Structure 1
């Protein structure tokens, strides 16, 4: 069993897409999306591709998200024994699995059947895939369709036993991105910072995404997939903007699903240090 020092945040600031010197996304709509100054938060959990600690993200009151409090990852089904040990050594108390039942059956989590595993899918089996929409439109459609499921997912973070909470879907990109964004927003992280963190996923999944596209023979399907793979910060800015304009903000949206102001305070106390 490897020591936890080998599996904490990686010092890969000069290693290309995974490092902080490369991971400073910006946009062209006048919003600063620079995460320079934060150490690399990517985690070396073999064989996850897209695991990072949200600790260190600043909040509007001058504090920051606690380290080891909230971690976002891709599906842990590829974790080696060493990777599973690293998750335990990191102090994780809950693994929130956002995938549909069929995905869980196809790629079982190594934590399934253990006290850590908390399965809270944010889609019903009959929900449409919306493949003809843009990525931001897909996010908006999913959120509008299932506020109760998304509220349950964010509540799973707030209500977890003491320790760190891992949130994942399949790639750690879309469903994870939305749930984590709402949790960070309630904790007081600025929208631009949330969008900048969301954008880091693209570099982490670049190699896997390229391999996925190469294996698709249908040109139409390949182009649809190509358009849905990037994670530009504008997608998250649009998504959170929709929650503001339609519902009056993240808190009001989640309240429609039964989240509640008391639980929002519990979440803030848990995540902010």
Structure 2
């Protein structure tokens, strides 16, 4: 069964951290469209029907290749699937506990690859995930939401909805992003992405029509 509640949380059989970012407010009064961007932890075969029912047209798996070899995605042979490791392997730095700033600093090209996969995905929902759906997924989602005009407080609040997370590391990360790169657009432009691709992300995530503040009705779906 798949249940989409008021907080965007989805109940998928094998996932602990899966949700729809639809309804997240932007600073100009709009909201992220429902069914445009989903985030999760690793997928299992039991989650395949749920992902199909959600209209997922692209899955961006942010795990290292060795993780995927050890624990293959159930979508590995499906055209919707892309593996785009978000981090160098090995890392090459010691990650602090209170910020993902170094993750941004050391992996800009990889971040750009993942964002490009979101931008050029076929019509439908894009699902991004890593192993736990927390660190790598959280940083990529923060960049995507920032491009769409979601403010730092809302991005940090979404991050804190993930199991085992609090808002402070994301707040610190966004402060670093603004101070060193001028925000998501500046960071990704410096990483080599064309402004047209950034615009494509915004177009995918934001409402196509309707008055400000409307993201469309939230869908309650059930699949067995």
Q: TM-score, structure 1 length as denominator? A: 0.73
Cα distance in structure 1, aligned partners of 2:111 and 2:119: 13
Matching residue within 138, 143, 159 for 2:104: 143
Which of 144, 154, 157 is equivalent to 1:183? Answer: 144
The one of 97, 121, 125 aligned to 2:89: 125
Secondary structure of the residue that 1:259 maps to in structure 2? Answer: coil
| Aligned: 1:247 with 2:177 | no
- Does the 8 Å contact 1:148/1:256 carry over to 2? no
**Distance in structure 2 (CA, Å) of the matches to 1:101 and 1:135:** 26
Higher relative contact order (CA 8 A, sep 6+): 2
- Alignment check: 8 A CA contact 1:98 1:168 kept: yes
Q: Is the 8 A contact 2:97 2:169 kept in 1?
A: no
Partner in structure 1 of residue 217 of structure 2:
none
C-alpha contact (below 8 Å) 1:147/1:254 kept by paired residues = yes
Deviations 1:220-258 (A, max 9, x none): xxxxxxxxxx42211111101101111122111111211
How far has the Cα of 1:130 moved from its partner?
Answer: 2.0
Where do 5+ consecutive residues of structure 1 fail to align? 1-5, 11-38, 203-229
> How much does 1:107 deviate?
1.1
Alignment partner, residue 134 of structure 1: 97
Match of 2:30 in 1: 63
Pairwise CA RMSD of aligned residues? 1.3
Q: Matched residues in 2 for 1:251 and 1:130: separation?
A: 26
- Judge conservation of contact 1:173–1:201 (CA < 8 Å) in 2: yes
Candidates 68, 87, 107, aligned match of 2:51: 87
Q: Which has the larger radius of gyration?
A: 1
Identify the residue that residue 263 of structure 1 maps to in structure 2: 197
Deviation at 1:268, TM superposition (A): 0.7
Instruction: Output aligned runs, 1:1-273, within 5 Å.
Output: 6-10=1-5, 39-76=6-43, 78-80=44-46, 83-128=47-92, 130=94, 133-136=96-99, 139-202=100-163, 230-273=164-207
Q: Distance in 2 between matches of 1:245 and 1:129?
A: 20
Aligned length: 207
| Cα distance, 1:75 vs structure 2 | 0.6
CA contact under 8 A between 2:146 and 2:183: conserved in structure 1? no
Which structure has more helix as a fraction of its residues?
Answer: 1
SS in 1 for 2:75: coil
Q: Under a length normalisation based on structure 2, what TM-score does the superposition of the two structures give? A: 0.88
Once residues 121 and 9 of structure 1 are traced to their aligned partners in structure 2, the CA distance between those partners, rounded to angstroms, is 28
Write the distance in 2 (CA, Å) between the matches of 1:271 and 1:246: 25
Instruction: Report the CA distance between 1:129 and its aligned residue.
Output: 6.2
DSSP-derived class of the 2:57 partner:
strand
Matched residue SS, 1:157 = helix
